[in-house]
Each structure stands twice: as C-alpha cells, then as structure tokens.
Chains A and B, each alone.
Chain A
Amino acid sequence: MTNTWQDIKNANVVLVMGGNAAEAHPCGFKWVTEAKQHNHAKLVVVDPRFTRTASVADLYAPIRPGTDIAFLNGVMRYLLEKDAIQREYVLAFTNASLIVKEGFNFQDGLFSGFSPEKKDYDRSSWDYEIGEDGFVKSDPTLADPRCVINLLKQHVARYTPETVSRVCGTPVEKFLAVCELIASTAPPDKALTSMYALGWTQHSVGSQNIRAMAVVQLLLGNIGVAGGGMNALRGHSNIQGLTDMGLLSNLMPGYLTLPKDSEPILADYMKTRGFKPLRPGQTSYWQNYKKFLVSFQKSVYGPAATADNDWAYDYLPKLDVPGYDILRAFDMMYGGKINGYICQGFNPLQSFPNKKKIRAALGKLKFLVVMDPLETETARFWENHGDKNPSDPSKIATEVFLLPTTCFAEEDGSLTNSSRWLQWHWKAADAPGEAKSDIAIMSGLFRRMRAMYQKDGGAFPAPILDLTWNYTNPIEPGPDELAKEVNGKALVDVKDANGAVLLRAGQQLAGFAQLRDDGTTACGCWIYSGSWTEAGNMMARRDATDPREQGLAPNWAFSWPVNRRIMYNRASADPSGKPWNPAKPLIQWNGSAWSGIDVPDYLPSNKPEAGVGPFIMLAEGMGRLFARDQMREGPFPEHYEPFESPVANPLHPKVSANPVARVFAGDAADFGTVEKFPYVATTYRLTEHFHFWTKHAKINAILQPEEFIEIGEALAKEKGIAQGEWVKLSSNRGFVVAKAYVTKRLKPMLVDGKPVHTIGMPIHWGFTGAARPGFGANVLTPFVGDANAETPEFKAFLVNVEKTAVPVA
C-alpha cells in the first residue's frame, strides 16, 4: 500500500476492483465504511461476482474474469477524452510530456521488438528520446505526437465504451457510471483510492492490471495524496515483510537484486543498478545502491567482505534465469531436477496450480521438510484420501519430515503489515509439545551444516563458514538481536569529511541515510533501517495519537521507509509546494523546508523551484504513464485474454493471450478448450476462512463447514442443477465433486455477442483439519504465470459442470 489503512477514510471514491476487501480484509475495510460515513464517499465495486463488498457498494458493475485491462484502458480513454484529468499534476509529476523513441510502436496486438522464436521482446525501442545533453527530451506543450500522453491517447483510442462492453461483458451504462464516478476525483482536492489484491495479480497479465490502474491514478493526480494511492491489500500477515526482506526468487533484502550470470564482477552488476538521473537535477535515489549492498554484505559476511574481494560478491549465488520462482521450482521438481525441498509454513499441494502436477512433483523428491504449526496436506501428500488425494504411499519414495513450529502467540518479533508498518509482538504462552521456533530450526540446520563443512569440507564452504553468527544464543538467536542486526550499526567510528565522529563504533544507525559504501557500516535491510535505533525498538511504539485525525498515527510502530506513512507524499502539494487539498495536507513547503504531518518523501531542503520530481526512486523523477522497458509485455497495458478463454481476443484474435506469459513446455498440453470446457471459472477466498489454516479452527469450520461451488441461476437451470445439489466441476486438469450454491449473484454476460457463464469456487478445503474434507480448487487451475511476477492464473480458466450423484462417504 502506498497509503495507510486508516487513510482510506479520506477518499471521495473507493474503487474495489481486483479484490474483495470486505471479505478478505474486513478490519481494513472498516475505513471504507468510515469514508462513506464521514466523507460521503462512494464505493464502486467492479467484480465478476456480486461479493460481500458489492453488497455495501453504491455502484456495482459486473466484469468478465480476466478483462480488467480492457475496462481500465476504457477508463483512461474516457478521462482523456473528457479531459477529466488533473492537468497540472499530469504535466509536472508524470512523464506525459517526455518524448518516446521513434522505433516504438504497437500493431495487431504486439509492441515493437517481438521475437516469435524467443517469445520475448527486444525492449530497446521502449524508451525515451535522449537529447545531446544526455537527458530525456520533452515537450511541455504536449504538441509533439511522440509525447507519452499522445501515444497513450492513441493506444487507448480503441477502447470505446462499446468495445469495453463487448470484451468485458459489462453493460455500457454501468461502465459509463463507473467512469463518471472515477472522473469525479480529477479535481485537485478530490481523491480516489484503489484497493486491490489477488483479483488483479492472479492473471497472466497480473502486473499490467496494476500498471493500468496506476496510470489511471496518475492521470487523476491521486498518487501521493491523502485518500488516494495504489493500495495492494497483502494477503499474509508478513508477506510484505518476507518480500521486503528479499525472500523471493531474485531478491535480496530491501529490493536489491541477486546478480545474474552476465554480471561476473561487481562492476558489471552495478552498471544496471544505481541509475543516473534522466532529467536535470533529479534525485534518482537508487544512486545509493552500492551503500545498501556493501552494508548488507558487511552485515551478512562481516570481516570476510572486503573492498579487495568486491565485498564477497562471489558469495552471492548468480541467476541464469529471471528467477527460480514457485512455478519454476515445481516444474523442475516434476522433471526430477530437484531432490530436496524445505517447506516453511506453507501448503503447496493446496495452494499451487494443477494439484495433480504438484502431487506428482512432490513424489519425485528425495526428501521433503515441512515446518509448520499445523498438519498440512503437503506434509501428507503421500497419503491416500480417495479422489481427494489419490496417492499410493507404497510407490512414493520421498522421505518426509514434519517439524512442529511455534505460532504467533508463542514468540516475539515483528511483522510488516500491508501499509508497511513493522509492528512488534510478544509471546503469550509456550508452544504445545516439542514445537520449536523457526529461528531455532533454521539455526539447528545451519549449525549442523557448518560443523560438517568445517570438519569434512565440501563444495564451496566459504560463505557457510564466514556467515556472521555472533549471537548471544547461537542455538536460537533472540529476535531482538536479529532486529538490531537488520537495522544496522556502525562497524567503526564513522566520520564526516572533517574528521568529526558522526557515529561511534557499535552504535545503532538512525536510518539508511547514514549508510556507507566503504565497509564502515552494516545493515541487514536498508529500508528497515531506523526500526531499532539507539532510542530503542521503534517497532514496539504504541502511541496512537493522530494529528488532525487524518489517519497516519505517526508514532505507532515504525513504517518503512524512515517512518514515512504515505509514499510519494511530495506529490500531495503542487509544484510550488502548496497542498492540492488544503483540508488534508500531508507535507508542504514552508518557505525554508518541507514539513507537515508525514515524513517528506523528498529531501526536506529541496526548494520547489529546483523542480525535483516527486518520484525520487525513478531516474526521471516522474510517475510513469509509459513504463519504458520495465514491463515484459509492453510499456502500455493491453488487453490479452486469459490462457483459457471462452473467446478469442476481440481486439486482435491472432495475439489472443499474453505473448510473453510464463508457460512451460509440458503445461500447454493441459490447457482445455471452450468446446469441452465451455464455462469460465474463478477461484477465491471466503471471509470465514484464511487459506488452508482456519479449517483447523473449530469456529471457522462451523462458519463454513464444507466445500461448494457457486453457479448462477440461469446456468443451473440449463444444467438441471437445484440448490445444494452435488455437481462435478472439471477442467482439463482434474475434477472436484462439491455441492452447488445456485445464486443470483452470478449472471451470464454477453461477450462478443455470446453469453458467457462464470462459475466460482472458494479454495479453503482439504483433507486435514476440522472442516469437512474437500478437494481444493487448485485441482482445476492452470499452470501458467504472469509475465512479470510469475503469479499463477487462478482467476480465469475454463471448466465444465455436470450434475452428479451424491458421493459415497
């Protein structure tokens, strides 16, 4: 989230699209009801299903799963055509006026540079025109047809309301009603907030769904302001923290990236990071990249990281592929290329697409280690549960370890919430039985490995032997000590240019501005620097005071970066430094500095007239309507059909699906066709459950005891399915047998002249826990990933449905 949960109350319009906040994040959704209550806000819901969020919406518009970009491109067209944009913001703070290279174009569903053989783009033409001064050319009059905004207009011109309706199935008048409400937030003192989640990410165009909305928000001037922003509602309690901390296939802590094979030495690596500004006088904060990297290496490898060995650069594994993400991992496992797998608190058998493939893949492992507080289907993948898990244990040679871990109530530590707050929590009781903390288990494995490498040697022992491990309790390092390590400290006395001591050796850092690239500072995660300073544990702060009750609570816990609550808040003021919305300012120029109720996302002394852009991490300092080469399928969002779709792409049938999405060779054969599987299916969560955990909790099992599917009245009638009857729902990858909920909340839509029915399936059941046994929706889902983030396409695929006999218990 760019903004805080409470800040949602400042919105004038709340758009919930690509998510179901009321159902998945009820306590965050309270701030939507507050916005309605106290800010007279309108709630707009765009969703294939009439959800619980829709039940309290002012306006609901249905949409066919997987067509959000068509809808949003239509919104952009509407805004540009009606001039319902915040012009001054767009001109000053976005790349609207920058000039794009001549070679860039878009034709018949493809951007320039596509290679059909590689199924990838050469993205070199997706960039700006660079002038002789080395900076990007621009035309503030916007007269140049190669200005970003003119190319955008041209790109979205095809998305008329009629086209949107033809692609999305949304009635024209509903679409226009949504556009009108969105457009109402273009005035400088009005804001729209976008709340989204897996409904946008779990598509083969997932990242572009979000890009499309970000462009809408930039056009409206809604980024960086109170009540605005792009608010990704993260799923798990610490998925934000895990991502910040770099536990992702290609990451290091603080969004530093692992080196690639093509970067044999540090100098090569630094060439594509630490960008120089593309416009005069810009900050381009990633120029500090090396300080973060060196301090990180000092934190992890201590004295073994020196200037002479490029700060132990070779200790970092290099990637030969963009990332060994979960889909690649399980495809490799399926192909017999992985021998061991450690599953720390998650349940791939239920959570990953195409359960049959996942089950088979796990069976090819030599060993599987599951660390979890609860029994999981994954740990018991080898057990036979009939149709629900047709394994034959005698044929599965995997050695499986199930290690009991503590849960939240049984340990201290910090979690990072969706709005980037690091909040400390305290242990309330001991864990049952012999359960141990994940810290103790990881330490136990590490210490054993290190001892063996010390004694017997082996493959490249250096990073294992040199890993810093100076903990007071090396068997189970304390969370407090680890938190201090993450924050960072001075390794020696750190001096300024005149020799004055800025930091004494051993002193905790106050923030990442103190980091050095000469090995004198250590920091485990630069964006978390400031979380445990000399003043103590900032994450444990519990002062809930809230200036002007504007929803920031700046002294509650710690918000990265530097306790900033709203990202890009420089954009909340006009170019001269006056707040766009005087009633709800965040920061403003007071004549000598930027000040306000939030920590400026800007150098506080930067005078407005210097023209430093508000998007300081980007080389041009401006919000990107045109993404340059940062997105794999194009710098502008374009509608592509899901990989399993009831229709060919009405805009360019020859390039129907995302041409650069992730599909492994073997998986294409598992895709189904509309002839055999005529209905669209989508999977989702219900408010009564959290993934596959709460089926272990009796109360939640009582609240939603049994697996079911949702089917519209029209289709049910056509198929002779009565309320609560058993049905068989099948895709080309498998089937589930479940009860049908015949509902008015799913209606057929007219798509490209044909009626399209959508069937819904919640995900929460399996063969462990207190709820009734179920199959799990991922029996049905396809193994295909988004082009940028490799997120599986869980939200749109094809199925068939038939009435079936009551299953034998």
Chain B
Amino acid sequence: MADFQSLDIRRRSASTEVPPNIREATQIAKLIDVSRCIGCKACQAACMEWNDLREEEVGSFNGSYDNPADLSPATWTLMRFTEWEDPQGNLEWLIRKDGCMHCGDPGCLKACPSPGAIVQYQNGIVDFISENCIGCGYCIKGCPFNIPRLSQADQKVYKCTLCSDRVAVGQEPACAKACPTGAIAFGTKHDMTEWAGERIEDLKSRGFDQAGLYDPPGVGGTHVMYVLHHADKPSIYAGLPNDPHISRLVQAWKGVMKPIAMAGLAFTAVVGFVHWMVAGPNEVHPEDEAKGRDVLDRQDT
C-alpha cells in the first residue's frame, strides 16, 4: 500500500532513539530526466511560490542563465546550465536541476548535533525541522552535494523539503507538478527506477550509449535521482559528484566522537539552563559568530 502520508520517522539527528513502527512505508522518489529538461525553471518558480520564498534582491546577470547564481536559504532548487562540447565538437547544453538529493544515508543528518533538527521519514524524505535547528552548519559540511544553506536572517539552515507538506497530504512536490516536459517525475522509488529504465532505453536508441541512472550507492542511494545521457561522466553536469560519499569527518563524528560530544552537549545544556535561570538568555555577539565561522572554515581544510 502506498502510504505517502506517513510521517513516521526512520532516522532523527543526534538521537539514538527512534519511535518503534510497525508500518511499512512506501519509498518515494523524484526522478529528474536531464535529457527531457529544457531548463525553463518552472520548477524553480513553483518551488519559490509554493514555499513562499523570494530572494530579497533580484540579483544580476552573471554570464549564464543560472539565476540566482547559487542555492540559498530562499532558493532551494536551481537550474545549472553547462555548454558542453563532446570530443567530436558537438555542442550539448546540459541543464541540471540542482537541489537536495534526499540521500538514503544522509550526511547532513549524520553530521547534525541538534536532536530532531534533521529527520528522515520512512518514505525517504530528509527534512529540516527548523525549530530544532541551532544553525551550527554541520549539515552543510556533512552534505556531499553542497546543498544546505545557512540563513543570515534567522541563523537556521534551509534546503528542499521535497515538499513534505504536499507529500504528506498525498500530492506531488510543487516542482514535479509544474514541470512542463515531464522531466521531473514523482512516485514510488520502484516506479521511478523502472521509468528511468525505459528512458535510458530510449536514449540509447538515440545514440546516447552511456545513458544511465544516477542513484549513487555511496550515499545509500537517493530519493532524487537523475537520468543522465552521459552517466559515465556525472561531473560534466555542473559538477555533479561522480561518486559521492559522506565525508570521513562526518563518519568519524558519527562513529566515535558523537557520544563524547553528546555528553558534552548535555553538560552544556545543563549549564545553559542554569545560566538562563540566573542571568537570562544570551545574546549573540559578533565575536561568537566569527568564532563559529572560524571553526567551520578550519573544518573545511
């Protein structure tokens, strides 16, 4: 039984406990067929409209059709355009819809130190629960696809929810619904994988011998998959990772460091609580902010 409405949780950040569950949820997936995509940005428009997101400034022209120039807290999906010439000199305009891949094994969730700030539902959606987000940015480091973005407005991290609000009531995500050419399809992961097979067959019949499905095992497969005409070279599609993995740092955090950190975290919490009781809430000082950035930057290298 398809049960897209199930919000049962499979995984929860910084939590060892997940509620028991007797139901089997249907795995959902979004399939992005790059070979059918015309780069019209209907998905971007629909995403902004549905999620009530607008960049504050309209931006500027920067030498490509990529607008805005990058993902941001208000831009959860983005068409990335690449003018690519094959070795024979034939031009292809590769257009890839970038956004959260909803990994089976989500690096963001694993990196997140704040309990319940990132959850993975039984249906496969990886969702950020804003009220639990502490703005530490670890998820950004944990993501092999460079997707989450920290908002300067409220110090929380944002990314595509796969329209969990729509999926929860049995609807498809806004981007999938809008897509004029059917380049974005939405359904069960099983159906999407099958559909991808048909598409790949068609592409092969049109001379794309290397056509294939992008569902990278390094991150436990994804709930957003691509059909690529050149599946042997994902990176030509505006830097789609050839073989994404969760960074070793995050693996380490998850495996060894996290329990230790968690103990510290509990300690901090208790101290914080006492501090709050005694002195009232802390304000964020610019130096805290700078320090936080430092830490993140150091982790980068």
Contact = CB atoms under 8 A, between A and B. Distances in A.
Bound together? yes
Nearest to A725: B63
A741 B54 CA distance: 25
Interface stretch (A376-384, A424-432, A697-705): A697-705
Given A29-B38, A55-B38, A703-B45, A745 B61 contact: no
Contacts of B45: 699-700, 703
Nearest to B41: A703
Interface string B43-76: 0110011000011001111111101100000000
Interface string A656-699: 00000000000000000000000000000001100000000011
A698 B44 CA distance: 13
A22 B181 contact: yes
B202 interface: yes
Interface string B195-208: 00000001001100
Contact of A33 (B48, B54, B67, B181): B181
Contacts of B38: 22-23, 26, 29, 52-53, 55-56, 687
A772 interface: yes
A53 B40 CA distance: 10
Given A26-B180, A29-B38, A699-B48, A50 B93 contact: yes
B61 A739 contact: yes
Contacts of A724: 61-63
A54 B92 CA distance: 9
B39 interface: yes
A58 interface: yes
A742 B38 CA distance: 20
Given A739-B63, A772-B58, A27 B180 contact: yes
A526 to B, nearest CB: 35
A699 B49 contact: yes
Given A26-B40, A688-B41, A699-B45, A723 B67 contact: no
Contacts of A26: 38, 40, 42, 180-181
By secondary structure, the A interface counts as mixed
B41 A687 contact: yes
Contacts of B146: none
Interface residues of B, number: 37
Interface residues of A, number: 43
Contacts of B95: 52, 55
Contacts of A30: 180-182
A37 B38 CA distance: 15
Contacts of A687: 38-41
A777 to B, nearest CB: 15
Contacts of B36: 33, 56
Contacts of B67: 688, 702-705
Identify which of B61, B92, B202, B206 gathers the most chain A CB atoms within 10 Å of its CB.
B61
B243 interface: no
B85 A708 contact: no
A56 to B, nearest CB: 6
B35 to A, nearest CB: 7
Contacts of B65: 704
By secondary structure, the B interface counts as loop
A262 to B, nearest CB: 49
A745 B93 contact: yes
Given A30-B181, A702-B48, A743 B83 contact: yes
B61 A708 contact: yes
B22 interface: no
A495 interface: no
B63 A699 contact: no
B48 A55 contact: no
A462 interface: no
A52 B39 contact: yes
A706 B48 contact: no
A173 to B, nearest CB: 13
Given A33-B182, A708-B61, A744 B35 contact: no
B59 A705 contact: yes
Contacts of A53: 38
A1 interface: no
B91 interface: yes
A26 B184 CA distance: 14
Interface of B: 35-42, 44-45, 48-49, 54-55, 58-65, 67-68, 83, 85, 91-93, 95, 180-183, 202, 205-206
**5 tightest CB-CB pairs across the interface, nearest first?**
A724-B63, A26-B180, A55-B93, A706-B61, A22-B38
11 contacts: A22-B40, A22-B181, A23-B40, A26-B181, A27-B180, A29-B180, A33-B183, A56-B36, A688-B40, A698-B58, A772-B58
